[in-house]
Amino acid sequence: MALSLWELRSDADVNSRWVTSFMSSLTAGTFSIAATNPILVIKTRLMSQTSISNQTYVRSAWQYKSALDAARQIYRKEGILAFYSGLAPALLGISHLAIQFPLYEQLKRRFTGSGLGEERERSSYNMLGVLAAASLSKIVASSATYPHEVIRTRLHMRQGLRSTISASPWHGGIMKTANTVWLKEGWRGFYAGMATSMIRAVPASVTTMLVYENVLSLLMALRFDGENKLERANL
Amino acid sequence: MPYDHHDTLGNVEAASSMEYAAAHCSVDFIRTFAGAISGIASSIVTCPLDVIKIKLQAQGGFRRGTTSSRLSFTNRGLLGVGREVWLEKGLKGMYQGLGPSVLAYFPRWAIFFATYHRSHEVFQIWFGKFIHF
C-alpha cells in the first residue's frame, strides 16, 4: 500500500516535470524568438546573398555590405514589417524548443540524476550524459519540425513582398510558401538538406548545452563560495 | 575592501575578486550571462555549416537551371557546396555572417535560459499544486 502510494506520487512527479518543462520552454521560446527574429531575418539575407561574380546562381535581389547596411536597406525599402516576415513559422519553431527541452530535462535526469542547470557532482560521466541528452533531444525535435525550417528560410528569402506577392505576409505567407514547395518539389522539398541540418544542429545543441551547464555551475559555485565568505567576513 | 583585515587575523578566508563579483550578481544575471556565452560558443562552432545549409536550401530558389549544362546539376551536397564556398571566398566565406549570427544567438539563448528557469520555478509551484494532491 505504501509502495503503491509512493509509485503514484513518483508518477505524478514525473508528469508534473513534463508539464512544467513543456510550459517553461513554450514561455521562454516565445520571448526569446520574438525578441531576436529581426536579427535572424538580416542574418538569413546576408548568408543567402550571392556575389556578383558567381556563375552558378542568378544574382540575389539584394546586395548588402554589412549587417548594419542590411538593416538600413530593409527598413528603407520594405518597411518595419519586413523584419517580422517569417515570424509565424518562427513562432512555430517554438514547438521545436517545446519538444527539445522537456526531452532534454528527462534524458539528462535519467543519465546524470539532475535536471537542466543542476549538477550533483562535476564528472566526465556527467558531461557525457549532457552530451547524450543534448544530441538525442535535438535529433528528435529536428526531425519533427524540420519542414518549418525550410518554409522559414524560403519566407525570409522573399524580398519586396508588396510587389511580388499580392497576399500580405501575415495571411497566406506560410501556406503559400508551403504550397509552392509542395507543387514544385513534392514532399522531398520539405526535407531538403535535412542531413546537413542535423550535422549542424546536433553539434550546435551539444555546444550550447555543454557550455551553458558548465558556465552556469561554475558561476553558481563561485557565487555560493563568495556569499559564504563575505557572510563570514562580515560577522 | 571591507573584508581584508579579517584575513590578516588568520581565521577568515578572503573572497577572491571573482567570488566577490559573483556574490554580487543575481541568479538571473548569472543565467543570462551563461546563456549568452553558450550562444556565442555554438554560433562559432556552427557558422561554416550554417553558411552551407542556407546555400543548400536556397539552391531551389536561385539556381540558374537551363543556361549552362555544366552548372545545372541540382544536388552538389554538403561537401560540394562547402568546396565551392571555400574556393570562392576561403575562410572568410565560411564565416560569412558570423557577426549577425552571434548577434542573433547570444541574446536568444540569454533570454531563453533566464526566462526558462524563472518560469520553471513558477510553473513548478502551480503544477505541483494541481498534479500532486
The answer to whether B106 and B36 are in contact (CB under 8 A) is: yes
Tell me the chain B residues in contact with residue A233 when contact means C-beta distances shorter than 8 Å.
2-3, 6-7, 12, 14-15
The boundaries of the domain holding residue B25 are 4-131
Q: Which candidate, A160, A151, A167, A174, places its Cα nearest to that of A61?
A: A160
The answer to whether A64 and A143 are in contact (CB under 8 A) is: no
* Bridge partner residues of B16 (DSSP): none
Structural domains of chain A, count? 1
DSSP state of A81: G
Check which CATH number belongs to the domain holding A116 and give it. Answer: 1.50.40.10
Q: What are phi and psi of A29, to 5 degrees?
A: -65, -45
Q: Which conformational region is residue B70 in: left (phi greater than 0), alpha (psi within -120 to 50 degrees), or beta?
A: alpha
Assess if residue A108 is contained within a domain. yes
* Bridge partner residues of B63 (DSSP): A57
| Nearest residue of B to residue A55, measured between CA atoms | B71
Residue in this structure with the C-alpha cell 547596411, named with its chain if needed: A69
Kindly state whether A169 is in contact with chain B, defined as any CB-CB distance less than 8 angstroms.
no
Assess if residue A54 is contained within a domain. no
User: Which ranges of chain B have pLDDT less than 70?
Assistant: 1-12, 57-76, 129-133
Tell me the chain A residues in contact with residue B59 when contact means C-beta distances shorter than 8 Å.
192
Q: What is the pLDDT of residues A34-67, one digit of tens each?
A: 888 888 788 778 767 766 555 555 666 778 888 7
Question: Helices A173-185 and A87-112: crossing angle, nearest 10°?
Answer: 80
Q: What's residue B130's pLDDT? A: 65
Q: What's residue A40's pLDDT? A: 79
The 3-state secondary structure of chain B, one letter per residue: CCCHHHHHHCCCCCCCHHHHHHHCCCHHHHHHHHHHHHHHHHHHHHHHHHHHHHHHHHHHHHECCCCCCCCCCCCCHHHHHHHHHHHHHHHHHHCCCHHHHHHHHHHHHHHHHHHHHHHHHHHHHHHHHHHCC
* Whole-number Å distance between alpha carbons of A75 and A29: 26
Assess if residue A164 is contained within a domain. yes
Kindly state whether B98 is in contact with chain A, defined as any CB-CB distance less than 8 angstroms.
no
Assess if residue A208 is contained within a domain. yes
Structural domains of chain B, count? 1
Q: What's residue A9's pLDDT? A: 52
Cα-Cα end-to-end distance for chain A:
50
User: Which ranges of chain A have pLDDT less than 50?
Assistant: 1-6, 159-171
* Whole-number Å distance between alpha carbons of B132 and B62: 56
Q: What's residue B52's pLDDT? A: 80
User: A228: exposed, middle or buried (C-beta count within 10 Å: 0-12, 13-18, 19+)?
Assistant: middle
A-B contacts at Cβ under 8 angstroms: 236
Assess if residue A207 is contained within a domain. yes
Residue in this structure with the C-alpha cell 546586395, named with its chain if needed: A63
Tell me the chain A residues in contact with residue B39 when contact means C-beta distances shorter than 8 Å.
208
The boundaries of the domain holding residue A156 are 2-49+63-234
Between the alpha carbon of residue A43 and those of residues A70, A208, A235, B1, the distances in Å are 9, 19, 53, 46
* Whole-number Å distance between alpha carbons of A169 and A182: 19
Buried b (16+ CB within 10 A) or exposed e, B35-48: bbbbbbbbbebbbb
* Bridge partner residues of A57 (DSSP): B63
Nearest CA of chain B to the CA of A226: how many Å? Answer: 4
Q: What's residue A11's pLDDT? A: 63
Q: What's residue A187's pLDDT? A: 83
